[in-house]
Structure 1
Amino acid sequence: MNWGCSIKFQQALIRIIGVTVLVNHPVLWFDEISSITVVKIMNFLAHLHLAQHCQSSLLGNLLGDFVKGDPQGRYPEPIVKGIRLHRFVDAYTDQHPVVQALKSYFPGESRRFAPIGLDLFWDHCLARRWHDLHHHPLAVFCQDAQGQIEQELTFPAPEPFIQVHRRMWQGRWLESYAEFDNIEVALQRMSHRSPRMQSLTSCIPPLKTHYQHLSESFAQLYPQVLDAVSVAFSEME
């Protein structure tokens, strides 16, 4: 999903995190992944779920954050459509009235970081409600998704993607999103990566204070996203 941040601000997010989930201890521990921005960490679960919903390329939808410019002619056609679907999701959610209205819940400095906090929170909500939205458990979905992506990966992909791809499955990032403590720790650790990010933790109190309303907003927003991506992908055929 699109954070609406400037290029300079996004560059300040470089040197970000890999995740390992400790068994019986729902706290994230982080390793550095060089030259990878936070943008490439947040939205994997929703993008994968939406891709499968449309029967789009899972790999293409993950590559949407790693491929710049026009992908046509650079990748197989299913991958190109997946990249374009990813970009549609980013634009659609960023402009959606529900998302725009929620930014008012983030006062002062926290509003600048609201898109980052909301992106993490949406994947948290999706993981929490997974049993209502998918016929397989989240762990099974993740295992199947990893297998499908590795089968699709028959061409040289950007190195930052390869690093994230490897660590995402090793660390079970997508499953960890279900615990809000992991979201909070992720924001805290990201805030230490750059002086520009020091105020990132200011979006944690609004996420906690308005947790119920934000969860209800997700329940309102996500079905509309599912419908919109179905139409958008069908028009790509």
Structure 2
Amino acid sequence: MQYLEPMNFLGHAYLSFGHPEILVGNMISDFVKGKTQYQYPEDIQKGIKLHRLIDDYTDRHPATLAAKEFFRPAYRLYSAPIVDVVYDHFLASDEQTLTDQELSELAQNTYNILDQFHYLLPSPLVAMLPYMKRDNWLYNYKSEQGIYRSLQGLMRRASITDDGSKALAVLLANKADLGIQYRHMIADVKHFAKGAFEELIDPAKSLPNN
């Protein structure tokens, strides 16, 4: 069945800053196409927009451009989504950003919020959510097996004749260098996302003389 594999959700959950509707929008954005975004409540629309702003910023960040080069020889255009998944692995393992307890709480809170807004979720995410909770995807991004499952899912969705083991091997062989790129990126994207979040939640604060 399609969409039953882990995806790079953790960063978007983390960069929702504890706001339930923003988190829902952030988590469903990849499943929402075109004008259908305007069918959602306003704060969920803001979460969808935040997700896309984060993706655009991260994709253009020099650290991401450098990280993609490790995967480009084998995966070419798919190096970008692979790096997204790899970043979630580093975030889940980064106890300076998320302690193990904070990661566990973020994962459980995310599942609870998605359950609360179940009636608004796109059907692919509805199908995915029981597996996400059962196998605790968000927490298990920190393990080698968890990230391998996520890479396997990416390969299946992209119809790549690769079980993800090659991408995992590249990650493990270059983990120190990829970790450097992650650390260059994470502080910048958190600062950017926080500013974008605050502007979306209260646009008046971003106006001059306010």
TM-score (norm 2): 0.81
Residue number in structure 1 paired with 2:23: 58
Distance 1:106 1:63, change over 3 A: closer
One-letter amino acid matched to 1:50: L
Choose the corresponding residue for 1:111, options 61, 70, 76. 76
One-letter amino acid matched to 2:140: S
* Maintained 8 Å contact 2:4/2:127: no
Measure, in 2, the Cα distance between the counterparts of 1:194 and 1:138.
27
Residue number in structure 2 paired with 1:98: 63
Structure with greater helix percent: 2
Structure 1 residue 65: deviation in Å? 1.0
Provide the aligned C-alpha RMSD in A. Answer: 2.6
Residue number in structure 1 paired with 2:161: 198
The CA deviation string for residues 115-144 of structure 1, in whole angstroms up to 9 with x for no partner, is 232122111111111x32246432222222
Aligned length: 199
Moved more, 106-115 or 61-70: 106-115
Residue number in structure 1 paired with 2:198: 234
Moved more, 70-79 or 93-102: 70-79
Choose the corresponding residue for 2:178, options 214, 227, 232. 214
The CA deviation string for residues 123-176 of structure 1, in whole angstroms up to 9 with x for no partner, is 1111111x32246432222222222333344x4432112112232112211111
Choose the corresponding residue for 1:161, options 108, 125, 149. 125
Measure, in 1, the Cα distance between the counterparts of 2:87 and 2:106.
18
Measure, in 2, the Cα distance between the counterparts of 1:16 and 1:149.
16
Moved more, 218-227 or 64-73: 64-73
Measure, in 2, the Cα distance between the counterparts of 1:65 and 1:188.
18
Residue number in structure 2 paired with 1:15: 2
Distance 1:210 1:54, change over 3 A: farther
Tell me the SS of whatever aligns to 1:70.
helix
One-letter amino acid matched to 1:100: L
Moved more, 75-84 or 63-72: 63-72
One-letter amino acid matched to 1:157: L
Structure 2 stretches of 5 or more lacking a match?
203-210
Measure, in 2, the Cα distance between the counterparts of 1:217 and 1:58.
25
Structure with greater strand percent: 1
One-letter amino acid matched to 2:77: R
TM-score (norm 1): 0.73
1:178 lines up with 2:165 in the alignment = no
Measure, in 1, the Cα distance between the counterparts of 2:167 and 2:10.
21
The CA deviation string for residues 63-95 of structure 1, in whole angstroms up to 9 with x for no partner, is 111111135641111101001001111111111
Measure, in 2, the Cα distance between the counterparts of 1:97 and 1:158.
33
